Structure 1
Amino acid sequence: MAGAADTARAGAFAPLRQKVFAVLWAATVIGNIGTFVRDVASSWLVTDLSAAPAAVALIQAASTFPIFLLAIPAGVLSDILDRRKFLIAIQLILASASLCLLALSATGLQTVTSLVAFTFVGGIGAALMAPTWQAIVPELVTRADVKGAIALNSLGINISRAIGPALGGALLASFGAAVTYGVDVISYVFVVSALLWWRRKAADEDALSERFFGAFRAGLRYARSSRELHVVLVRAAVFFAFSSAVWALLPLVARNLLGGTAGFYGILLGAVGAGAIGGAFLMPLLRTRLDVDGLMLLAAIAAALVMAALSLAPPQWVAVLLLLVLGAGWITALTTLNGTAQSVLPNWVRGRSLAIYLTVFNGAMTAGSLAWGTIAEALGIATTLLVAAIGLVVAGLLFHRLRLPKGEADLVPSNHWPEPLTADPVDHDRGPVLITVEYRIEDADRAAFLDALHRFSAERRRDGAYGWGVTEDAADPKIFLEWFFVESWAEHLRQHRRISKADADLQEDVRRYHKGEEPPRVRHLLAAGRH
């Protein structure tokens, strides 16, 4: 057993043996520590400038709202731009924002407005950066190490969460806001240096490369037609909307309910990170006892108990222990939802769909932060935490019935569609394209065929179709014509690349009802223009 455990540990850290990944991973940990240092300074500084709960909650909202707005465009940009140069540009923008915060604090000109404004800029940077960091992982490690690299990235974030807030609180208490922001500025030097050192291989030219607006529409079409993704998004929105209360109000909990200082606030946030690290190590054991729905219910109950206990203004040492529990519950929910989302997404749309997930996550956090801040103005901090705790438990029990997908489908491209036959070469931007498939179906199979075809229609829409239907021949009721529109010839060729092995199985379920001597006849009809 010990040997197996050692092997598992070695496998978990195997990606760090690859030099490029190790350097960028270490730089990212340092950069995230700087970000947490900055966020602690801003969250605490706003309590000095305004005692209103709504103002404090506005800082949380300003950090998450840009991600709600920009995550999807950022996911598209991560697919069409040079990711290394894109990340360097983002880091320089974020460093400039922190320099402005440093200057304002050093000169005594800092205000709630300036804090919110530059926190918003930081949120923009986070929105642009998150999908891109996720997208570069397969470039840095071998295919076998991708999952391990993703897990190490999550571990790195929580290491930063454990160190950064405590460091930020100590710096703020000892040296003031200007020095604290200065440490964040220095952290960007490490990240930019690592990105400059990385010699990224230039992408190969591809005639079917997507452009921004086309890729944007394709991502939205996929998300609109994927019921499995819908379930993940709903479960995420409900959990984060209620649990956002503790994040929005934590600075006031630390100061007003618990009588703490900036250093104590940093310790609380550090406890969340430490709890998340502990929770990450517990996850393999929990997965052997609970399915994904059980894990989400456990996370909701843990977060609700923490909020309820904090509303009682416990001793500070008890509050630190409670935040350890919150961190474990938080990482359980995050990894469960993110892992489920990853398992139901094919590679071609992974970045864009994960960006939609980030949009829902941060939208729920933003709306929740604003709502709980407003409620706290009317009811007080303690009562608001108790209301949020009760709401989270009730919502967790109700939505437990909406089961998360298992994510067991084989989403590797099947490449089984033949190249379409054309009389002459077709321009890639020509469209729209109408594709028809003609089937001959016996009367006894009619109902089963139509049921299978409607199930397969979701695949058509996910992979690029913007209209779909099925008609029958008035002269021969055994003839059925499936049709769907695609916006361009290039987009249809991309459909050939996108169809997965799981989709191929659905297609075979449809075709087995076809009784013709030849396979179903496929036609490609192009929009006719005047010559």
Structure 2
Amino acid sequence: MTAGSASSETATPITPPEPGVALRGNRSFRAYWADEAVTLAGTSVHGIALPVVAVLELDASPSQVSLLAAAETVPAFVLALPAGVAGDRCPKKRIMIGTDLAAAAVVAVVPVCWAAEVQSVPVLYAVAPLLGALTVLHQAASIAIVPEIVDRSHMHPANARIAGAFSLADMTGTYGGTLVVGLVGAVRAPWGNAASYLISAWCASRIRPSSRVRQQAAVRPGGVVVAIREGVGYVMRDPIQRPLVLSLAGHAYADGIVTTYVAYTLLTRLDSGSTGLGLVMGVTAAGGLAGAVLATRLVDRYGPARVMLAGFLAYALCGVPLLVARPGPVWLGVIALAGAVRTAAAVAAGTTQRSLRQQLCPPELRSRAQQTSVWLVTGVRPAAALSAGGIAAGVSVHAALLVGTALYLVPAGLLWSSPVRRLPAMPTPAPTPAHAPAKDDVHVR
């Protein structure tokens, strides 16, 4: 069974744009990549500065800090589905520019209020959810716009490069943010974040989406609830989209249980200290770059089904060292290496499933389909943390890690029992009739 036939039951066939230039010659993709990279760099500074301002400058209590953290994450769940509707109904490029400009103004509130001597924890309570909401809207558009600027034949390499940017930001962002905060102070650091959003908006303005794809993505009129129901219904009925999304949600639940106590286990049972913890986290994040580099080659050689199944299985197996480790530098090295392999497997599998979903989804549903996945993943994470706490309280922390590691196998089982495991290769564009490309179309020979 091919990818196209598997999805044909529910997906409207897409007339793909004509074969495009390589990614290195695609100016729109370069502008998009720069937009995302600059945003990530600025966000890393904000992620360090905001809690430092709260704790060290405003003497926030532990409960206030926890509320601040919750205020940053709640919009991802509450607004995920409406953001998908906005991404499908409004020009994605305009959403990206608008959210970047608005985010620059929001983060500038912190240093402005400090200069006016009116800074307080309630101000941070307002900034955190506003920035979280803008991030949700931005990501809903930025993920769904990729098929409008990249030819289908280059979709997977494009997503691999995007994942590489995220992995690099994850590896260096915390250290870079710490350096900036140390040099200019936590109160002034948000100015750098505001500048990054302005640069990001400029980069987004240089993106030229394909006019043909935009014309295909005409959305039927109707209320927001109806539009949300249409997007969720499409994902849950489609024989390819449904197992892909449910496997991601299952993986997020298992990972939420394990990650709740990874740092705790390293610092307590394994006596890693802060240096050992930093080493493990840094090496683990570096594996994402390897996964991004190898993802396309692995899919070309083994096919998308095998890469995704192997990725989920490798992720589960690489969690075993944490369960059996003993204190000492050798075991810390083993855990770090296993973490790097696990992250590489996750990135390879993740870029593959995203590329599949983008290529098989009708243009008018891309943003809503993507945000359905985001909504499910963000929704299970709080439940996973509560489950981890319940298991730890009732049995032990080690039992929670054991349960989470075992649950890593569930997503592989979901894919194995679905039509996804019969996908021999990534979808290929069907021949299209000759026609003159639009002036702003990047897909030219």
Output the TM-score relative to the length of structure 2: 0.71
**Contact 1:64–1:363, Cα closer than 8 Å, also in 2:** no
**Which letter maps to 1:406?**
R
Alignment of 1:221-260 (within 5 A): 221-245=233-257, 258-260=272-274
Contact 2:29 2:207 in 1 (8 A): no
1:400/1:209 CA distance change after superposition, 3 Å: closer
Partner of 1:501: none
Q: Secondary structure at 1:178's aligned position in 2?
A: coil
Partner of 2:194: 185
Matched residue, 1:154: 163
- Aligned residue among 65, 73, 76 for 2:74: 65
Partner of 1:124: 133
Partner of residue 421, structure 2: 406
Determine which of 16, 27, 30 is the counterpart of 2:35: 27
| Unpaired segments ≥5 residues, structure 2 | 1-18, 433-445
Q: CA deviation at 1:173?
A: 4.1
SS at match of 1:215: helix
In 1, Cα distance between the equivalents of 2:258 and 2:178? 18
Contact 1:29 1:157 in 2 (8 A): yes
Q: Residues of 1 paired with 2:217 and 2:369: CA distance?
A: 23
Is it true that 1:92 corresponds to 2:104 in the alignment?
Answer: no
Alignment match, 2:44? 36
Partner of 1:338: 354
State, as a whole percentage, how many aligned pairs show the same letter: 22
2:87 is the counterpart of 1:78: yes
Q: Which residue of 1 aligns with 2:220?
A: 210
Larger Rg: 1
Q: What is the SS of the residue equivalent to 1:210?
A: coil
User: 1:356 offset after TM fit, Å?
Assistant: 0.7
Q: Which moved more, 1:230-239 or 1:126-135?
A: 230-239
Separation of aligned partners in 2, 1:260 and 1:165:
14
2:292 corresponds to which residue? 280
- 8 Å Cα contact 1:299/1:333 also seen in 2: no
Closer/same/farther in 2, CA of residues 24 and 15 from structure 1, 3 Å limit: same
Change (3 A) 1:103 1:253: farther
Aligned mates of 1:27, 1:105 — CA distance in 2: 29
| More contact order relative to length (CA 8 Å, sep ≥ 6) | 2
The one-letter amino acid paired with 1:260 is S
Greater displacement, 399-408 / 389-398 = 399-408
Match of 1:368 among 357, 379, 384: 384
1:172 aligns with 2:181: yes
- Residue 24 of structure 2 aligns with which residue? 16
1:349 to 342, 352, 365: 365
Give the conservation status (yes or no) of the 8 Å contact 1:166–1:270.
no
Which amino acid counterpart does residue 105 of structure 2 have in structure 1?
S
What is the CA–CA distance in structure 2 between the aligned matches of 1:208 and 1:336, rounded to whole Å? Answer: 26
Question: Does the 8 Å contact 1:105/1:177 carry over to 2?
Answer: no
Q: Is the 8 A contact 2:88 2:217 kept in 1?
A: no
**Contact 1:171/1:179, CA 8 A, preserved across alignment:** no
1-structure distance, mates of 2:330, 2:180: 24
Structural mapping, 1:424-443, within 5 Å: none
Contact 1:31 1:187 in 2 (8 A): yes
Equivalent residues of 1:223, 1:229 under 8 A apart = yes
* 1:176/1:99 CA distance change after superposition, 3 Å: same
Give the secondary-structure state (helix, strand or coil) at the position aligned to 2:421. coil
Taking the TM superposition and a 5 Å limit, the aligned residue runs for 1:462-481 are none
Matches within 5 A, 1:384-423: 384=397, 386-398=398-410, 400-402=412-414, 403=416, 404=418, 405-406=420-421, 408=423
Looking at structure 2, the residues matched to 141 and 227 of structure 1 have their Cα atoms a distance apart, in angstroms, of 25
Query: Which segment drifts farther, 142-151 or 318-327?
Result: 318-327
Q: Distance in 2 between matches of 1:117 and 1:65?
A: 13
Displacement of 1:120 = 2.8
Contact 1:237 1:364 in 2 (8 A): yes
Residues 194 and 345 of structure 1, relative CA distance in 2, 3 Å threshold? closer
Structure-2 separation of matches of 1:314 and 1:88: 47
**Residue type matched to 2:421 in 1?**
K
Contact 1:43 1:251 in 2 (8 A): no
* Cα distance change of structure 1 residues 188 and 391 upon mapping to structure 2, 3 Å threshold: same
- Report the CA distance shift for 1:313/1:34 in structure 2 as closer, same or farther (over 3 A): farther
How is 1:496-507 mapped onto 2 (pairs within 5 angstroms)? none
Deviation at 1:22, TM superposition (A): 1.2
- Identify the range of structure 1 (35-44 vs 338-347) with the bigger mean alpha-carbon deviation: 338-347
Larger helix fraction of residues: 2
- Structure 1 pair 12–273 and aligned structure 2 pair: CA distance change class (3 A): farther
Deviation sequence 1:430-449 (CA, Å, 0-9, x none): xxxxxxxxxxxxxxxxxxxx
Query: Over residues 16-70 of structure 1, what are the superposed CA-to-partner deviations in whole Å (9 max), with x where a residue is unaligned?
Result: 3122321231232111111122223446667766785x87776665444322222
Counterparts in 2 of 1:390 and 1:201: CA distance versus 1, 3 Å: closer
Name the CA shift for 1:75/1:251 in 2 (closer, same or farther; >3 Å): same
AA matched with 1:219:
G
Measure how far apart 1:363 and its partner are.
1.5
Are 2:53 and 2:187, in contact at CA under 8 Å, matched by a contact in 1?
A: no
Change (3 A) 1:412 1:196: closer
Counterpart code for 1:37: V
Shift of the 268–50 alpha-carbon distance from structure 1 to 2, 3 Å rule, reads farther
* Distance in 1, Cα, partners of 2:267 & 2:183: 17
- CA–CA separation in structure 2 for the residues paired with 1:254 and 1:168: 24
Q: CA deviation at 1:349?
A: 2.5
Q: How many Å separate the matches in 2 of 1:207 and 1:25?
A: 23
- State the AA in 1 paired with 2:103: L
Give the Cα separation in 1 of the matches to 2:120 and 2:82. Answer: 32
1:418 is matched with: none
Q: Is the 8 A contact 2:45 2:177 kept in 1?
A: yes
- Is this contact kept in 1: 2:110–2:119, CA < 8 A? no
Pick closer, same or farther for the CA change 1:345–1:138 going to 2, 3 Å: closer
**Does structure 2 conserve the Cα–Cα contact (< 8 Å) formed by 1:245 and 1:369?**
yes
| Partner Cα separation in structure 2 for residue 355 and residue 281 of structure 1 | 26
Tell me the SS of whatever aligns to 1:401: helix
How many residue pairs match? The answer is 396
Cα-to-partner distance string for 1:262-308 (whole Å, 9 max, x where unaligned): xx988766544422102223445766575532321211332464587
* TM-score normalised according to structure 1 size: 0.61
- Aligned position for 2:440: none
Instruction: Go from structure 1 to structure 2 and tell me whether the alpha carbon gap of 1:63 and 1:327 turns closer, same or farther (over 3 Å shift).
Output: farther
User: Cα RMSD between the aligned structures?
Assistant: 4.5
Given that residues 301 and 392 in structure 1 are in contact (C-alpha distance below 8 angstroms), is that contact kept between their aligned partners in structure 2?
no
After TM superposition, give the deviation of residue 210 of structure 1 in Å. Answer: 1.8
